[in-house]
Amino acid sequence: MTQDGRDVTRAYADGAARSLDIARVHGATLAILKAKSPSCGTGRIYDGTFSGTLVPGDGVAAELLMQKGFTVVDEQLVSYCEPSFEHPVAIVLGSGLGALADRVRIVRRIPYEDVEGFPHEAIPVEGHRFEVIVGTIDDVPVVVYPGRVHLYQGYSALEVTSLIRHAHRLGCRDLILTCASGAVGDVVPGTVGLIRDQMNLTGVNPLASAECVAAAEIDNPFVSMAGGYSSYLAEFARAAADDAGVTLAEGVYAGLLGPTYETAAEVRALGMLGADFVGMSTVCEAIMAHALGMQVLGLTIVTNRAGQSDNTHSEVLTMADAAAGESSAVILGVLRYLGGTRG
């Protein structure tokens, strides 16, 4: 309603339809709209009575765009994710991507032994190194973690997620998680995968540990994991991949404990559950990051077909190295898009 009492619902609907037409003409896939607006808001919107009352729901235009497959976010999220030296982008590098750390214009180095909760006795697996690198990549402030520890090495969820808590304390609001994975379905090894969702099949959850929850200063461990991977950052990844001529395989990542590779029967079961990629990291980190309110982008290098008798760690590293260029190109593109939101 307008302030003089006129019902303008039809005008809003017509405007929403026109906005949809314009977006389609221009080939847009991401809509950044005004928060709380009865037309554009998402989640909670003003009820249209000019009383300042917020109600659950989506605005007329936002709802229409979402129904038609658009990614819809509000301008508050864009502002929240704006990279700066106070709020850099955190990047955890998996196997094969360590060279990306060499692109950082370094301001500071932090030994992992100075990261609270990280196991001081840990020895990096091949393809990882234990040193936080703080600086910029193409003028975008970043904090890069070129190595991680894993549950299969005997470390706890508290230790595995220590880098995420460290990044959050440094002010990071966006997190890019990378890893190697096996293909559950027909994804060709060497492909870069975009993780849209995950299955935590490790048997461990960092929020099930009172010590872990206390370390992260999380008030409520009953966190919904719906939307655990940011649709906003995923759109940037798709655009960056298109810019670089990289074909992304999108799907669900299943995190297993490891360290053994999967049996053929396990792969068949994972396929029936809806998994596209399978690996031995990432899921606990994503849970912790989401609980801390961070925006998470998950990228994986598909290094092998899961369930094959000849799967080896050396094969994984070789393929990860071979595909690192394309994966790095996507990450660099995402950083450019994030950096472009400034000003």
pLDDT in tens, 139-162: 999 999 998 999 999 999 999 999
pLDDT recorded at residue 127 = 58
Do 117 and 252 fall within a single domain?
A: yes
pLDDT band with cut points at 50, 70 and 90 for residue 216: confident
Of 39, 61, 79, the residue that ends a domain is 79
For residue 251, pLDDT beyond 60: yes
Does any domain span residue 1?
Answer: no
Do 72 and 89 fall within a single domain?
A: no
* 33-42, 215-224, 266-275: range with highest mean pLDDT: 266-275
CB-based burial of residue 53 (10 Å sphere; 0-12 exposed, 13-18 middle, 19+ buried)? exposed
For residue 33, pLDDT beyond 50: yes
pLDDT band with cut points at 50, 70 and 90 for residue 337: very high
Do 173 and 258 fall within a single domain?
A: yes
Q: For 196-214, what is the mean pLDDT?
A: 93
* 3-12, 91-100, 209-218, 331-340: range with highest mean pLDDT: 331-340
Q: For 48-63, what is the mean pLDDT?
A: 85
pLDDT recorded at residue 322 = 75
Do 131 and 256 fall within a single domain?
A: yes
Of 79, 114, 137, the residue that ends a domain is 79
pLDDT recorded at residue 128 = 63
Does any domain span residue 267?
Answer: yes
Does any domain span residue 325?
Answer: yes
For residue 318, pLDDT beyond 90: no
More confident residue, 13 or 129: 13
Do 28 and 87 fall within a single domain?
A: no
Do 74 and 162 fall within a single domain?
A: no
CATH at 327? 3.40.50.1580
Do 148 and 32 fall within a single domain?
A: no
Do 107 and 61 fall within a single domain?
A: no
Does any domain span residue 3?
Answer: no
pTM to 2 decimals? 0.87
Do 51 and 115 fall within a single domain?
A: no
Does any domain span residue 2?
Answer: no
Considering its fold, how many domains does the chain have in total?
2
For residue 1, pLDDT beyond 80: no
Domain extent, residue 237, equals 81-339
The predicted-structure confidence for 71-109, as pLDDT tens digits, reads as follows 898 888 888 878 988 999 999 998 777 778 889 999 999
Q: For 273-285, what is the mean pLDDT?
A: 96
Does any domain span residue 18?
Answer: yes
The predicted-structure confidence for 160-189, as pLDDT tens digits, reads as follows 999 999 999 999 999 999 999 999 988 999
For residue 343, pLDDT beyond 60: no
pLDDT recorded at residue 330 = 96
